[in-house]
Structure 1
Amino acid sequence: MSRITTTLDETQRKLIDSALPLSGATSINSFVAEAALDKARALIEAEKRLYPNEEQAQRFFEALENPPEPNDYLKDALKQYLGSDA
């Protein structure tokens, strides 16, 4: 187990105290720990979406360098966008 210490001003403490019964947490320590873990998980997931792994990055750049031929759906969309004369 590790200990984390923080200081809250009166307004912050009152806000957390108000949320505590709504969260199901049994103590302010468990509430703060769970909130910190939730935030950490969200940041890590966001990072994974922004920066893909090596295989995903390689596939992305391969598709940029060697794009597939346009399919009928894309051709029709282009015609609609440009007008029927395209």
Structure 2
Amino acid sequence: MGTTIAKQDRIGARVPHEVYETLCRAAELTGATVNQFLVQSALKEAQAVIEREELIRLSPRDWNWLLELMENPPKPNATLQAAIERYQEARGDDAGTSFNWKP
């Protein structure tokens, strides 16, 4: 049975000496190499950025409000009804299509 070797990529960066010393000190305090410390720190920050950009957080009050709207949507006002009709006309929808919502 063969072994699988994971592909690895290289990242390099030039930093001022003071920054390098700070990174070395922090890495030493955590028991990691500078490379390990950099990768762990960068990965943690990258995951935080992705989570911040991809997740929507709601308070319990707002979550309940959203669920209520989804379960009991209000009747469409004139503007929404006109938009639905324009959409259906643009798509050429007729009574036999799946999107033929009428209040």
Q: TM bucket by the smaller chain?
A: 0.5 to 0.7
Matched, 1:4 2:14: no
| Residue in structure 1 matched with residue 27 of structure 2 by the alignment | 20
SS in 1 for 2:24: helix
Matched, 1:41 2:47: yes
1:50-82 per-position Cα deviation (integer Å, ceiling 9, x unaligned): 49xxxxxxx94x828937xxxxxxxxxxxxxxx
Q: In 2, distance between residues paired with 1:63 and 1:22?
A: 51
* Letter in structure 2 aligned against 1:32: L
Q: In 1, distance between residues paired with 2:69 and 2:28?
A: 51
The 4+ residue runs of structure 1 with deviation greater than 4 A are: none
Q: Which has the larger share of helix?
A: 1
Bigger Rg over Cα: 2
Q: CA RMSD in A?
A: 3.1
Q: How many residues align?
A: 60
Question: Structure 1 vs Structure 2: percent identity of aligned residues?
Answer: 29
Q: In 1, distance between residues paired with 2:38 and 2:48?
A: 15
* Letter in structure 1 aligned against 2:73: N
TM-score normalised by L of structure 1: 0.54
TM-score normalised by L of structure 2: 0.47
* Residue in structure 2 matching 1:31, options 22, 34, 37: 37
